[in-house]
Structure 1
Amino acid sequence: MLPNNKKIYFASDQHFGAPTPEASFPREQKFVAWLDEVKKDAEAIFLLGDLFDFWFEYKTVVPKGFVRVLGKLAEIRDSGIPIYFFVGNHDLWMNDYFQKELNIPVYLDNEEFTFGGKTFLIGHGDGKGPGDKGYKRMKKVFVHPISKWIYRWLHPDIGMKLAQYLSVKNKLISGSEDVKFLGEENEWLVQYSKRKLETKHYNYLIFGHRHLPMIISVGENSEYVNLGDWIGYFTYGVFDGEKLELKTFGN
């Protein structure tokens, strides 16, 4: 059990800023309301990537906007509640802003955690499993230090506008696909989870990226969990010390 009836919360794929800052603002307000709700009994909060539709940190400049979300995260973290952030494919170019300004650790890949005697493997999920070779090649280019160095020389107004255009328009860059269940044998994160279980047991393997909320048994006492998104589903995961469930905020 978790102490004092506390809970662990998980959310992913908010994509704030898409398709425009104005259009995403109501979603940002809803997410802030969710943070206000869960902070009442949160033992920890996990954000599994793509919080923003695009994020790039110059040495002295960060993207304009998202003040309410960033302020709320700072408030919650300052209250003593741990927050963990996992980089997604839309916020690949994070450096140390979250660590220095918000005291929130940032993870670039999967990480293991244990809560209430249960083991968790947690990550965003992009570039994992079989297939998707085009995106995997492009990701290697994006994360290369030379690519980031070249991009940094663009004026922020130009760089941000270009990135926002590509993020919305280019499916290879965004990793977006039709949000429909492909069947267990074709869900590549399901296959990835089963392969991970061949070498180590996890009770929960939790990812985002697919934008489709689902919980699938992948082994004895092991479940693959995809958190859905905050674009059409407004779903999140909650672990009460005994089991993990997906819930919809506002329902």
Structure 2
Amino acid sequence: MITITTSANKKVYFASDQHLGAPTQEASFPREKKFVAWLNEVKKDAEAIFILGDLFDFWFEYKTVVPKGFVRVLGKLAEIKDAGIPIYFFVGNHDLWMNDYFEKELNIPVFHKPQEFLINNKKFLIGHGDGLGPGDKGYKRMKKVFTFPLFKWMFKWLHPDIGVKLGQYMSVKNKLISGDEDAKFLGEENEWLVQYCKKRLSEKHFDFFVFGHRHLPLDIKLQENSTYINLGDWIQYYTYGEFSNEKLSLKKY
């Protein structure tokens, strides 16, 4: 478990699902600039920043090549990390082929599964959220295929001009591969991340569960002292999480 203790007047920030590059680089450019502006603003009082996956709509790391573009957001993340502010990155279903580029180039740790954090003595379970809980069986099967080492090895032999173009096309067009759901609240009994949180809560106490993936801002009380937050997205809602004074709030930029 990683422990974070905030200094006076410092905050911890959470954001997810920017999907930069979708539906095209040109179309997503204004959203990239807006997210960079947010990063530039929160770095003034950030104790730590969490990015919970799907920063990119498609990402694949060849041995010596990564997808073209995203210079502004990568540069801003490097600047913030170089300033001594910790950044934690969780891969999503659209950037699940991330390996060690962020770790080596930006010194940002990358997590592929939900992780426990202790922030100001509050217990957090943090992750992207894809493939958790009951249901979503089609995506779960597809994820096993795409994370299978042989499949990744075969894909890397495609020329990047072909592989990246194919990946971007499938990421936008194929809902089974993306794992995305329509961004509408289904009721607690049908929200599989709510069910996942309740199951984990029956095994161990967490004050906060923080996930993305649903593209829907949600703030749901699970118990008197336990809350599930879904961060929404940076396509429609431009929402983020802010932890300050032992309270986690959803805010809009």
Same fold (TM over 0.5): yes
Equivalent residue for 1:233? 237
Provide the aligned length of Structure 1 versus Structure 2.
Answer: 249
1:127-163 deviations in Å (ceiling 9; x for gaps): 0000011100110110111010000000000001111
Amino acid at match of 2:82: D
Residue 115 (1) aligns with residue 115 (2): no
Conserved? CA contact 1:49–1:91, under 8 Å: yes
Q: Equivalences for 1:57-96 in 2 at 5 Å? A: 57-96=61-100
Unmatched tracts of structure 1, length 5 or more:
none
Aligned counterparts of 2:173 and 2:117: Cα–Cα separation in 1: 36
Deviation at 1:170, TM superposition (A): 0.5
Equivalent residue for 1:147? 151
Deviation at 1:220, TM superposition (A): 2.8
Aligned counterparts of 1:166 and 1:3: Cα–Cα separation in 2: 44
Residue 24 (1) aligns with residue 28 (2): yes
SS at match of 2:50: strand
1:156-189 deviations in Å (ceiling 9; x for gaps): 0000111111111100011122110000110000
1:98-154 deviations in Å (ceiling 9; x for gaps): 000000000000000011111100000000000011100110110111010000000
Aligned to 2:17, which of 13, 18, 29? 13
Greater Cα shift, 150-159 or 168-177: 168-177
Residue 204 (1) aligns with residue 208 (2): yes
What value does the CA root-mean-square deviation take over the aligned residues? 0.8
Residue 128 (1) aligns with residue 113 (2): no
Aligned counterparts of 1:111 and 1:181: Cα–Cα separation in 2: 25
Aligned counterparts of 1:108 and 1:22: Cα–Cα separation in 2: 29
Conserved? CA contact 1:2–1:241, under 8 Å: no
Aligned counterparts of 2:6 and 2:99: Cα–Cα separation in 1: 32
Unmatched tracts of structure 2, length 5 or more:
none
Deviation at 1:7, TM superposition (A): 0.2
Amino acid at match of 2:203: T
Residue 178 (1) aligns with residue 182 (2): yes
Equivalent residue for 2:41? 37
Equivalent residue for 1:158? 162
Aligned counterparts of 2:176 and 2:229: Cα–Cα separation in 1: 24
Residue 188 (1) aligns with residue 206 (2): no
Amino acid at match of 1:59: K
Amino acid at match of 1:15: H
Deviation at 1:6, TM superposition (A): 0.5
Equivalent residue for 2:106? 102
Aligned counterparts of 1:101 and 1:3: Cα–Cα separation in 2: 27
Matched-pair identity in %: 76
Amino acid at match of 1:139: K
SS at match of 1:225: strand
Greater Cα shift, 212-221 or 102-111: 212-221
Conserved? CA contact 1:77–1:102, under 8 Å: yes
Deviation at 1:202, TM superposition (A): 0.4
1:184-222 deviations in Å (ceiling 9; x for gaps): 110000000000001110000000000000110112300
Conserved? CA contact 1:194–1:219, under 8 Å: no
